[in-house]
Structure 1
Amino acid sequence: MTGRLLWPDYARPVDLAAIEAVPLEARGLPESTYALLARAAARWPGRTALTVLPDAGRWREPVCRTFAEVLSDVHRYANVLHDLGVRRGDAVALMSPNCAELVTATLAAQVAGIAAPVGGALSRPHLAELLRRSGARVLVTAGPELAPATWDTAQALARDGLLDVILVLRPTGAAGAPEPLPAIDGVRIGYLGELAAAENPSAFAGDLPRSSDLAAMFHTGGTTGAPKLAAHTHANEVADAWMLAASDLFEQETVVFAALPLFHVNALVVTLLAPLFKGQTAVWAGPLGYRDPRLYSQFWKIVEHHRIAAMSAVPTVYAALAQIPVDADISSLRFPMVGASPLPAAVRDTFQAHTGTTLIEGYGLTEATCATARTFPDVSRPGSVGQRLPYQQVRVVAADGTWEDVPAGQTGLLAISGPTVFPGYVIGRDENGPVLDGLGKLVHGWLDTGDLARIDEDRFIYLAGRAKDLIIRGGHNIDPAVIEDALLAHPQVTAAVAVGCPDVHAGEVPVAYVTLASGASVTEEDLCDWARERVPDPAGAPKAVTVLDELPVTAVGKLYKLPLRADAIRKELRRALDRIPGVHVIDAAIEGSSIVATVKIHPSAQEDAVRAILGRFAIDWRLVVLP
C-alpha cells in the first residue's frame, strides 16, 4: 500500500469528500488488531510504543517497551491463553486497573479469542451476569499487590463457580517475588507474567483473527442493572482507529497520553490502537488514571517531561486541570481531545484561557465502536461536536419510531451507519459461539444512538441531549444542558447537572445539582435566581438547586445522573407525604436503568391516601405495609 493511499489529506472539513472518493476497501487497512500491531513492529521495531507510569508519583520511572517488544509480549500472552484452550469464539475477561501487563493482555486476548474487559467497580451480581453472558471462563485480573479489592472480587467469582482460570497481573515495574497465590478448588491460578516467560515470543500458535471475527465485548449502559455487552469486530476497531489516525492531528512524533481505564472503548481505540498506525508513543498513567488526585498536581510537569502532544479525557478532567496552575512548559500539548459526555461551554472556555490550547471535541458511543465525529481546532462551530468521520454516515430521523428523515437543520434522533457500527449485543452463547442481537438499536443497517441532534449543511453534528435525559414539563421539552450551561457560567460553580423531578401538575420540572469552588459564598437560593435570569426558556428555570460536595460520576469520570434523579424523586415524595401520619420510610432506588420509589407505611396509616398521592406522579413505585 502506498502512504498516499493509506494517509489522505485530512486537515479540514472540506477534505471529507476527497477522502471518500476512494473506497475504504481500497485503502489496505490491516486485517485485524493483531495485524495492525505486527505492521507497527515491522516498521518501527526499535521505537518506543509504550511508556507506562507505575503511579502518578513516579512519573519519572516508567516502564518502556518498543513495538517489537510489545509484539513479542503479545505472542507470549496469547500463547498462554491458547494453551489454556482459548479459541477464536471464546471470551477472555479482563478486570484490572491499568498497568503495563494489562495493555499487553488486552491485545493478546484479541489474538487468541475475544477480549471482554469489565470494570471492577461493578457489583458481583453484575460481573457474574457479564461472565455468564460472554461465556468467559478465563479471567485476567489484578493481583493482591495491584488492586486488593479487585483481587478479592476475582476470588469470590471463582469460588462461586464462574471461572476455570485466573491469570494474575502485577503492578507496573513490580520487583521481587510476588505474593503467594491461594488455591481454589477446580480453578487454575497463576501469575500471567510467569506463565508467559516460557512461551514462544516469535509467533502465535493458533489461527490468527480475521476482519469479521469478534475482537471485543464491551459492557455499556451504566453502572447499575445488568449492563449490555456490545460486540466489536476486528474490522470495526481497525476502521475506527484508522479514521482517527488519518487526521492531521496525529503525526508520527505525536506523543499520546492515556489515562482512561481499558474497559472503556476510548482507551482502547483512541490511545492504544490509533497510535499503532503511525508508530506513536503512548504514555499510560498509573492504575488510577484520571481518578488519582496526585496526577493533577503533577500533570503539567508530566506533559513537559514526556512531551505530551495529545490526550483524551472527559469534561470533568479538563474542568479540574483548568484550576491547576501551569508550572511547566506545556507547549507540546496541541491536541487535547474531549468526549464521552457533552462539553459545557464554560469548561471549554476556561481550559482554553488557562492553557492557550483549544479542546478538540468528539462524539461517539460504544455501539459505533468509539468515535463518530470530531471538531477541527481551526474551524469554529460553537456548540457542535464535530463533523462525521470518513465513511461513517449520519442522519436525523423522527423520534417517533417511523425512521423518517426530518428536514435539514431540525432536531430529531441521530442515527449512524458504516463500518464502525457494531454487529449487536451479546445475549448468550450457542454451539457456534456468541449470540448477537441488535435489541432494537439496529434498523436496516442504521444504529439508533438514542441521542437527539441536528446536522448543519456542512454535516456538523449538534447534540440536543439524550432522548431519555430530556425533561418534559407539561409536554414542553427541556434540554438539561441549557440549565447546566447557565449555572456553570456562575464564577463559583465548578460542575452542574440538571435532571427531571416528578411534579403532580407538570409531570416533571427541572432541578439542578452543583458543586462549588473552595470558599464559595453563593447560596442555593442565589443560584436559583441566577439560573432563572439566564435560562432562555422560563419553563427551563430549575425549581431548586442543591449544592453537593461532589457529583456522582462513573468509573471513567462521566457525570452520572441516575443517583441525582433518585434523590429528586425521594425529596419530592417526602414533601408530598409529609403530612400523612404513619409513613415510615420513603426511598428511591436504581433498579436496572430505571428508578423505583418505595414507601413503607404503618398499618394504621391512611393507605388509600398514600396510594392516591403516589398515583399522581409519573414514576414507578411500590407501597409496603409494615407488619
Structure 2
Amino acid sequence: MTPTLETDAEALLWPRYTGPKDLSAIESVPLAERRLPESTYALLLRAARQWPERTAVTVLSDASNWREPVRRTYSQLLAEVHRYANLLHGLGVRRGDAVALIAPNCAELIPATLAAQLAGIAAPINGGLSQAHIAELLLRSGARVLITAGPELAADIWASAYELASQGLLDAVLVLRPTAAAAAVDTVPLPIVDGVRIDYLDAIAADQDWDAFAGEPPAATDLAALFHTGGTTGVPKLAAHRQSGEVVNAWMIAANSLLDEDSVIFAALPLFHVNALVVTLLAPLFRGQPVVWAGPLGYRDLALYGEFWNIVAHYRIAAMSAVPTVYAVLAQCPIGADISSLRYAMVGASPLPSAVRENFQSHTGVTLVEGYGLTEATCATARSFPDLPRPGSVGQRMPYQQVKVVRTPEDGVWTELPAGETGILVIGGPTVFAGYVTGRTEHGHVLDGLGAVVDGWLSTGDLAHVDADGFIHLHGRAKDLIIRGGHNLDPAVIEDALLSHPQVTAAGAVGRPDVHAGEVPVAYVTLVPGAEVSEADLVAWAGERVPERAAAPKAVTVLDVLPVTDVGKPYKLGLRADATRREVLDALAGVEAVLGVAAQVEDGAIVTVVELGSGAAQGAVEAILGRYAITWKVEVRR
C-alpha cells in the first residue's frame, strides 16, 4: 500500500511502548510532530470517522441487569454529543462558560460531558458534597446551566438541584434519566421554577441538529473542564484543564502497545473523577476501543461484586481501573467464569498494600499495575509495566512529562535533588493544569497556581525519590489531604466542624491507616479547662456538621496539647504517627507476644516498629501488617 499523509499520521501516533526502555525512543520525536487532535471534540470526530459502526460505549443499568445494556456506536455517540452541545449553545453557553454536571454515571451523562466540553467548559461535581459546597462551586465556576440526575435516577441529587434552582443560582436545569429509561416518555412531571428552564435533556435535545456543531469548535488552548479537588480551605478548589492537556494525557495512556483496538475497557469510577474522564472515556477514543460502563453506583454497588467475573467473561474485558479497596473485595469473590481476557488491572489514587496485591494476583492470575497521578497534572503521570515489575515503585514517568525531586526550604527556593534522594516530587510538561479558579471577569475565569506551580513545575506535595530510569518511589505525603478509598478529603472541614464546638480549643484531622479504605479520617482536639464533653460526643458533633459523610471522623482523641514544630506550626506528621500506632495496636490486640508498638517519623515518613517477645508470632504479625499501606518493621527481643 502506498503511504499517505493519513497512514503516516497514524504511524506517528503509535510508537512501540511496552517497557521502560521505549521512553527515550518515543521522546526522540517531538510531541508536536505526533499530530494529536486539537481538542476532545476533534478526538471524538476522528473516532467516529474511522470506526462509525464500532460500539463505543456499553452502559449497564445496574449490576443485576448486566446482560441488557444500552449500546452506542461511535457515530451514534457523536450524534448525541452534537444534539446536546447544540442545545447548550442555544441556551447561550459559549466557549468561556461552564456547564455543571451532577449525576451518577448513566448513558446520557457520557455524551453530556463531552458536549459540555464542546459548547463550553465541563464542571463535574460530586453529588455527595453538601448543598452549600455545591452552591459555592457553582458560583466559582460561573455555571448557570446544570445537567443533573432526575428523580428516577438519583432522588437525593435531584432534590438538591431543585433547591439550587429555587434559590436563583441557575437559568436552566437539564435532567437525566436512568440508563434503562433513556428513551422513555416523561414518567415523572418536572416542577416549575419561575425564571428557570427545567426539562428532560433527551426530550428537548431530540430536535437539535445531530450532524454538526452550530458554534465554534474549541482550540487546544481553550479550557475543557473544571475539576474540584481537595485544598486547604473548606470548599474544594477548582482545577482548570486545557483541551490540549486532556488530549495529550489521554494519548499517553492510549499509547500502550499491550492493548489493541479490540481490547475492551471496564469503567466504574464516577465521571466527576479525572480517572473516569481521561482513562476510561478519552483514552479509548484514540484506538476505537469499546468501553463497558457499570451502573450508577459503580464500584459502590455491592451486587456488582457477585456478578463481576461473569461480566468480565461475557464482555471479554481486557483492562480495568480501580482503587485498592475494590481489588481487596474482588480477591474474595469466587471465580466461576473464564476471565482469561483480563490482561491487567490498573490501580491508583491511594497506596496499594502488599497484601492486597498478593491476594488479588494469586486469586486471579491478573497483574495489578500501579500508576500515579493527580488532578492538577490532568490525570496520569506515571505507569507501570505488567511484565516488568519494579517493586516499591508506582511507575515510570509517562512520555513528554518531566519529574524531579526538590527540597523546598522556608525561603521558597526549590533546589533539585539527585536521583535516589527523597524530597518533594514536582511535575513539568504539557499536562500541568492551567491553574485554580480564583475569580471571573468579563474575559473569563481568573486562574492562579496558588504557589503550587513554580516556573512551570507543579508541586505534588508528595515525598518521593526518582530512580535513574524515571521510576517514582513514594514515601508518604507532605500535604495533609486524607485519601479515603481514592477520594480526597480536606482535613480543614473536619477541623472546622470540631472547632465550632464551644468546648474545643484546637483541632487537627489526619488519616488513620485502614485495611479497607486505605485511610479513614480521625481527629485530635484540645478542650477548655473543666470541659465535660466526651470523645464520643465530639464524634457525633462532627458527624452532624461535616459537609460530606465520608469525611466524618471515625474517632476523636482528646490531648492536653497538639504537637507543633519548632516554629510553632501544627505538626500533622506527629498526629499521623499516633493514629498509625493506635491502629496497629488495635489490629495486633489478639497477639500475646506483642510487647509494644511505636510509630516514628524518619525523613518525613512514618515507620511503625512492632516489638515481639517471641519469634513464633512474627509470621502472624507480618501477615496483619501486610494488609496496610504503611512502612513497618518487626523486632524480636532476644
Q: Same fold (TM over 0.5)?
A: yes
| Structure 2 residue matching 1:421: 3-state secondary structure | coil
| Structure 1 residue matching 2:578: 3-state secondary structure | strand
Q: How many Å apart are 1:541 and its aligned residue?
A: 3.6
Q: How many Å apart are 1:266 and its aligned residue?
A: 0.2
Percent identity over the alignment?
63
What residue in structure 2 maps to residue 341 of structure 1?
A: 350
Please say if 1:24 is aligned against 2:89: no
1:372-521 matches, cutoff 5 A: 372-400=381-409, 401-469=412-480, 504=561, 508=574, 509-512=577-580
Q: How many Å apart are 1:528 and its aligned residue?
A: 10
1:559-570 matches, cutoff 5 A: none
Distance 1:539 1:337, change over 3 A: closer
Give yes or no for contact 1:531–1:541 (8 Å, CA) kept in 2: no
Give yes or no for contact 1:91–1:134 (8 Å, CA) kept in 2: yes
Give yes or no for contact 2:461–2:479 (8 Å, CA) kept in 1: yes
Give yes or no for contact 2:325–2:517 (8 Å, CA) kept in 1: no
What residue in structure 2 maps to residue 145 of structure 1?
A: 152
Residue of 228, 232, 236 corresponding to 2:245 = 236
Distance 1:163 1:469, change over 3 A: closer
Listed one character per residue, the Cα deviations across residues 428-468 of structure 1 (whole Å, up to 9, x for unaligned) are 21001111111111100000111110001111000111103
Listed one character per residue, the Cα deviations across residues 320-379 of structure 1 (whole Å, up to 9, x for unaligned) are 111111121111111210111111111111111110111111000000000000110111
Distance 1:357 1:530, change over 3 A: farther
Listed one character per residue, the Cα deviations across residues 112-140 of structure 1 (whole Å, up to 9, x for unaligned) are 00000001111111111110010000000
The range that moved more, 136-145 or 373-382, is 373-382
What residue in structure 1 maps to residue 194 of structure 2?
A: 185
| Structure 1 residue matching 2:209: 3-state secondary structure | coil
| Structure 1 residue matching 2:579: 3-state secondary structure | strand
Distance 2:253 2:186 in 1: 41
Listed one character per residue, the Cα deviations across residues 35-76 of structure 1 (whole Å, up to 9, x for unaligned) are 000000000000000000001110000000000000001000
1:37-76 matches, cutoff 5 A: 37-76=44-83
| Structure 1 residue matching 2:45: 3-state secondary structure | helix
- Normalising by structure 2, we get a TM-score of 0.78
Distance 1:67 1:397, change over 3 A: same
| Structure 1 residue matching 2:438: 3-state secondary structure | strand
Q: How many Å apart are 1:406 and its aligned residue?
A: 1.4
Q: How many Å apart are 1:529 and its aligned residue?
A: 3.4
Distance 1:296 1:527 in 2: 36
Listed one character per residue, the Cα deviations across residues 551-592 of structure 1 (whole Å, up to 9, x for unaligned) are xxxxxxxx999xxxxxxxxxxxxxxxxxxxxxxxxxxxxxxx
Distance 2:109 2:370 in 1: 28
Distance 1:498 1:226 in 2: 17
| Structure 2 residue matching 1:72: 3-state secondary structure | helix
Distance 2:517 2:125 in 1: 30
Distance 2:595 2:348 in 1: 28
| Structure 2 residue matching 1:511: 3-state secondary structure | helix
Give yes or no for contact 1:469–1:499 (8 Å, CA) kept in 2: no
Q: How many Å apart are 1:499 and its aligned residue?
A: 7.3
Give yes or no for contact 1:70–1:104 (8 Å, CA) kept in 2: yes
| Structure 2 residue matching 1:416: 3-state secondary structure | strand
Give yes or no for contact 2:439–2:446 (8 Å, CA) kept in 1: yes
Distance 1:203 1:385 in 2: 42
- Count the aligned residue pairs: 528
Please say if 1:135 is aligned against 2:142: yes
What residue in structure 2 maps to residue 83 of structure 1?
A: 90
Distance 1:512 1:525 in 2: 17
Distance 2:228 2:519 in 1: 26
Give yes or no for contact 1:510–1:542 (8 Å, CA) kept in 2: no
- Normalising by structure 1, we get a TM-score of 0.79
Please say if 1:532 is aligned against 2:597: yes
Distance 1:530 1:430 in 2: 63
Distance 1:307 1:535, change over 3 A: farther
Provide structure 1 residue ranges, at least 5 long, that are not aligned to the other structure.
472-479, 544-558, 562-627
What residue in structure 1 maps to residue 15 of structure 2?
A: 8
Please say if 1:103 is aligned against 2:168: no
What residue in structure 2 maps to residue 195 of structure 1?
A: 204
| Structure 2 residue matching 1:18: 3-state secondary structure | helix
Distance 2:288 2:18 in 1: 19
Counterpart of 1:391, as a letter, is Y
Provide structure 2 residue ranges, at least 5 long, that are not aligned to the other structure.
1-5, 483-509, 525-558, 565-573, 611-627, 631-638
Please say if 1:299 is aligned against 2:298: no
Give yes or no for contact 1:50–1:66 (8 Å, CA) kept in 2: yes
Please say if 1:156 is aligned against 2:163: yes
CA RMSD of aligned residues (A): 3.0
Give yes or no for contact 1:452–1:466 (8 Å, CA) kept in 2: yes
Please say if 1:323 is aligned against 2:332: yes
Give yes or no for contact 2:383–2:395 (8 Å, CA) kept in 1: yes
1:113-128 matches, cutoff 5 A: 113-128=120-135
Distance 1:78 1:334, change over 3 A: same
The range that moved more, 317-326 or 1-10, is 1-10
Distance 2:562 2:153 in 1: 53
Counterpart of 1:278, as a letter, is R
Give yes or no for contact 1:256–1:271 (8 Å, CA) kept in 2: yes
Listed one character per residue, the Cα deviations across residues 491-549 of structure 1 (whole Å, up to 9, x for unaligned) are xx896669796675965342239999xxxx97646499398399998984489xxxxxx
